[in-house]
Structure 1
Amino acid sequence: MQIYGKIFSEPILKRINAIIARQPQISRRKLSREVCELMDWKSPNGKFQEMSCRKALLELDRRGLIPSLTVNAKFFKAKSKKTYN
């Protein structure tokens, strides 16, 4: 199947699922980096297409083809506001 311009074949999906099974607490960012490396998913300037990959991973999750990744709640805590007198 093609998502965001890349073909996600059965062997690729199995490898992604194996990565998640081996590292259940993997972050979306780290997983997208590993998937980009696995699929050699780069832009014309040679940088990994991590944002497109994250969107594709979200779509694979929505379709039930990979398990949902846990969101690391520490990034969503409100920052304390500094007050100045």
Structure 2
Amino acid sequence: MLRLILFSSESCGICQSIKPKIERISKEFSIPLEVIDIQKNPEVSTKFLVFSVPTVLILDGEREINRWAGVFSIDEIHSYLKRIKDVL
């Protein structure tokens, strides 16, 4: 089962601006979204080797299948999910 994880921080302006866009993508593709604040949950950030925010992971079960970090286009994530959604 696919799931999205958005690693962010309350102090990250870019994170706050992309969060609603990631939420829309999550709803559009019916993929659960988990938002993790790296300052409040450093152990989860370490587990997934997240060193900067924003970072978006797409997991299939526990296996990471893609990642975007730093500055990225929401359209890239949308296009990627559109391509793989029917395959998985």
Normalising TM by the smaller chain, what interval? Answer: under 0.3
Q: Per residue, is there more strand in 1 or in 2?
A: 2
TM-score (norm: length of structure 1) = 0.25
TM-score (norm: length of structure 2) = 0.24
Structure with higher RCO (Cα < 8 A, 6+ apart): 2
Which protein has the larger Cα radius of gyration, Structure 1 or Structure 2? 1
